[in-house]
Chain A
């Protein structure tokens, strides 16, 4: 069992839909990262959070430490949001354990 699990693995949505990607982890963490990876490999850090909720534009990330669960939400999705979204759990020593990623496709 992977220490960090994401669901769904693949997600197809229509433009404008509200999207949720889930991440569960079994390890103790100091922080959880949400990353975006576009075709070609470049990774961009979206959020780093250790509690509560963060918002940036149409993106919202939440974390529940007790339940060891985090969600990434995208409001008013757009085709340019199409990418792989990866959650990664950071331990106390700064080591990251990554989920397998969620491939999101937003159709116009």
Chain B
């Protein structure tokens, strides 16, 4: 597709389960960002990839959160031992090299029961 694609769009899981959220950026975009948005708040930064490497992972809240981008395209955000406080919309954005312009996906809404 032409835009940033995120799957699943909705995920309901139980406390303690493992979850993977996928982001497929716009083809050719080298930068990829993950953000988390809780209800009624602005997004907060989680991690930023430039190519395959995590250029800045300082926003990951704890070691239950991990993200990969092995081939420099698709990225997966992985959450272990989910907690109710992890419930949020997880947003992915990509950016072409050198511009800084952001293109957002529709987000993955995670609900932890």
Contact = CB atoms under 8 A, between A and B. Distances in A.
To the question of whether A and B form a pair in one complex, the answer is yes
Interface of A: 4, 30-31, 33, 35, 40-45, 48, 86, 88, 90, 93-101
B102 interface: yes
A86 B42 contact: yes
A98 B55 contact: no
A95 B42 contact: no
Contacts of B101: 45, 48
Interface of B: 31, 33, 35, 37, 41-45, 48, 50, 55-56, 58-59, 89, 91, 93, 100-104, 106-107, 109
Given A41-B89, A41-B106, A100 B42 contact: yes
Contact of B42 (A45, A93, A94, A99): A99
Contacts of B106: 40-42
Given A31-B100, A93-B56, A96-B33, A42 B107 contact: yes
Given A48-B101, A88-B42, 5 more contacts: A40-B106, A42-B106, A48-B100, A86-B42, A96-B35
B104 A42 contact: yes
